[in-house]
Each structure stands twice: as C-alpha cells, then as structure tokens.
Chain A
Amino acid sequence: MEPLEELGDPQLAVLIGRFEERALAEVYRRHGRSVYGLARRVLGDPTEAEDVTQEAFLHLWRDPSRFDPVRGTMRTYLLTHVHGRAVDVVRSRAARARREERDARATAAASYDIEREIWDMALAERVEGALGALPADERAAIDLAYFGGHTYKEVAELLCAPEGTVKSRIRSGLRRMRSALVEGGVPG
C-alpha cells in the first residue's frame, strides 16, 4: 500500500473505518492545527480548545461514515464539527467572559504538514481579501456570529438591526465570499 501521505482524505477515512490509527494520525497531521486554531479563536481558552479538538478527532474515529466527501472536504467536516462544539461550549458554559485573545504560540510543538501550512497561508490571504471586500454590515454580522458564537438573533440585538436583515446579511455575505473565492481560484 502506498504511503499514507500520498492518500487523499477520503481514502484515509476508509482506513479509519478499519481502525487504522495511523490514518487518524495523518488526518490530525494535516488538519489538527486548523481545527485547534478555530477552536482557540472561538473559545479563547487553550485548554477548552484542546478538549473540543480532541473530541472532534474522536468523533471522526468513532464514526467516519459521518464524513461525506461528496458534500465537502475533510477539513470542512472537521471545522464544521469543532465550530459547533465550540459554540456549544460558549453558550452553555457562559465562557464569553473568559475569552480573550492571547498571543499565538510561536513554535510548532509537533510535526505538521509544511506543505499545507504554506497552502493555508495563501488561502488565508485570499479569504482575508474576500472578507475585507464585503460591506461592513455583512462582515460584522458574520464575524459576530462565527467567531463570537452568537446566534443571529443575538447579532441582531448587538447591531440594533432586524433579525431578518441580519439573516439576509449573513447569507448574502457568505454567498458573495464564495463567488469571490471561486473567481480567485479557490475551490468552492
């Protein structure tokens, strides 16, 4: 069998279905930093971020059939899962008060995928550009909902805007971003 590094994520999911720990480790190597990075950004607290990151990978281990590559990439699957769990934590534990931005760690503590890291940097630039090009009200709604862990109804209160308007802003902003990213060559 070819090296795990050469396999696509869907193939790794098949191996995880066969209890291949090495396959889960490879998925972690590829996506662990992104999953943790999102959890950390939403939660602020590194311990809580590691907890939900751990839970996301164990979720994949328990039931890899939940990952459907036709519906999205492995990274999207993991980020969607970890974001949902992180938001749950924010809402259920009233963790907002504890959240605060802290300096990112300067050094990598474990092996990681340098190829993906560089790719991610290029992607991040495009995403930042697309996000920055959005109208300010759409950007604010997305930011408060996604990174703030607020529901759209809470966002509406924060922005003193009707709930329906906020719903529309979030959707139109995401659609606008998708168009910009696809035009920029990022798979949509």
Chain B
Amino acid sequence: MTTAEPHNLMCELLGALALDAVDPDEAALAAEHLRICMRCRAELDQLREVAAAIGNSSEPPSGGLWGRIASELGHQAQGVGSSHVGPEHPGAGPGPFLRLHRRPRPRPRRLEGQAPRRMRATAVLGAAACAAIAAVLGIGWVTASTRADQLQHALAQRGAHAPVAAALASPGRRIVRLRSADGVQLAELVVGRNGVGFVVASRMPRLPAYETYQLWTNTGGRPVSIGLLGAEPSAGLAFSLGSHSGAAQLMVTVEPSGGVVMPTNVPVAAGRLA
C-alpha cells in the first residue's frame, strides 16, 4: 500500500490500527497517511477511545511498582528530549499540546505516600460529571497556551477560561458543532446573543505556517468571511459574527495564511447554529 492509494483503503485499516493489529510496514505507511488526513486521524482517535474502553479492566499491580517507577524518574529525566522508547503509534506524534521548554530538573524528591481518597458512592456520579466539565475547561486553557509561563499563570488563575464558561452559561447562546463531510466532529463553538463566539473545543489538526483555518457563514447564498482561526484553533479563541449574528450556519475552509476574500477550497467542516 502507498499513501497515494485511495483514501478508502486506509479507512478500512483504521479499526485494525486502533487495535495495534497491523504489521510494522503497514503501520509506517498508515502513519504517513495520517499526517495529512485529518478525517482519518479523527476517526482513529475515536476508535482508540473505544479500544481503551474495551481494555479498561482494572487490576492492582504489586505494591512495589510505584516505587520502581519513582526510583527511575531521576535517571529518566536526564534523557529528556533525546530518546523515545520504541516507535510511536501511527498518528500519535507530537500534538499541539504542551510545547514546554523544560527547565533543568530540580533535585529529585522522594514521593510521599498518597492517601486514598474515600468518597461515598452516592457522590460518585456527580463528582464524575464535575470532573468531566473540569477536564473540558482544563483542555481549553492548556491548549491555548504555548509557553510554560503562560501555563503557570493560567494554573494560578482559575478564571482564565471565564469568557468561554460565561458564554456557555449565557441565555440565548447557540452552539455549533463543526463536522467533516463524513460526520466526524472537529470543533465545537459557542456564540452568545451578542454575536461574540468562542472555540469551546477543537480537534482540527495544526496546519503548516503558510495556511490558516478561515471561518465563514452564508448570506444570501454567498459565503461571508467571519475571520481567521489561525493554523491551530484552540479552545478559548474568540471571534465575532458582527452584523451576521443571526447566522444559521458556519463553515471552515483551509486557506493561505493571510486569508482570502472568497473561499478557494471546499469546507473541511460545517455545522448549524442551534
């Protein structure tokens, strides 16, 4: 198989890829395709979530395992950035997350014992829901930050994601889920009644520096530019519909980095505001 072969051949392989059930040669070829195909990457991510759910069987390791791991941390940190163990999974290369400049490692500290957190079963579901919400917001500001000092600042400021949270909680707000032609959700946006919107979550892959995502709506059958989302849209990114606050549909195209007056490519994702 080569990367030039039809896209649907690669699609058929995605399930086996998600289960690590392909030969190394096929995995390498798939990795090439996944680097350029956002639809396959998005589907592979989804199938891996399913695989992880299937494999999520809890069993306690021996009590000494954490001690073994902790004892290796000082040694392992010395090789940061210089080595990886084994080949990465197809499409699991460095993501847009956490491009940190790691500081020299401070003196190793021995981990203190972690006391188990005891919770009543009745509180579990509520806590899980809260954790899910916190995770979404956590993903948002982390992805939006690209430097360690920004991250540290954000950690100290729990309200860093307040505009998005406020928009989500505002009356009359509308949500749009941008999906690819085959139905894969690539981003979720919220638009307030005042027409100001935010990216709530995005899994649109990073574009090369010479390209940008551009947001559009449709007025009178003609596309109207809302603005540029950059090469790597992330949660918290703001935009304004301006005089088009009543827009019913939004779409995204990939364009040259400066943007264009009229779309030059077909939308990679679109959705209706509801």
- Give 1 or 0 for each of B56-100: 1 = CB within 8 Å of chain A CB: 111111110110111011001101110111101100111111111
Tell me the residues in window 118-151 of chain A with beta carbons closer than 8 Å to chain B beta carbons: 118-120, 123-124, 127, 131, 142, 145-147, 149-151
- Using A19-B106, A64-B98, A119-B128 as known contacts, say yes or no to A170 and B15 having CB atoms under 8 A apart: yes
Q: Does B109 contact A (CB under 8 A)?
A: yes
Q: Interface size of B by Cβ–Cβ distance < 8 Å?
A: 97
Q: Does B124 contact A (CB under 8 A)?
A: yes
B95 touches A109 (CB 8 A): no
The dominant DSSP class at the A interface is: helix
Count of A-B residue pairs with CB < 8 Å: 310
Q: What residues of chain A lie closer than 8 Å to B55, measured between beta carbons? A: 34, 37-38, 41-42, 79, 83, 146-147
A167 touches B16 (CB 8 A): yes
With CB as the reference atom, state the residue of chain B lying closest to A55.
Answer: B85
Give Cα A62 to B88, complex, Å: 14
Tell me the residues in window 58-83 of chain A with beta carbons closer than 8 Å to chain B beta carbons: 58-59, 61-73, 75-76, 79-81, 83
Q: What residues of chain B lie closer than 8 Å to A7, measured between beta carbons? A: 138
Residue in A37, A59, A123, A187 whose CB lies within 8 Å of B85: A59
Contact size range, A = 35 or more
Give Cα A32 to B106, complex, Å: 25
Give Cα A174 to B106, complex, Å: 44
Q: Does B238 contact A (CB under 8 A)?
A: no
B95 touches A123 (CB 8 A): no
With CB as the reference atom, state the residue of chain A lying closest to B185.
Answer: A188
- Give 1 or 0 for each of A49-63: 1 = CB within 8 Å of chain B CB: 110011101110111
Q: Top 3 nearest A-B pairs by Cβ distance?
A: A68-B95, A171-B15, A8-B138
Since A9-B135, A50-B61 are in contact, a sample of 7 more A-B pairs with Cβ atoms closer than 8 Å, ordered by chain A residue number, is A34-B55, A49-B61, A53-B65, A65-B99, A80-B51, A146-B21, A149-B20
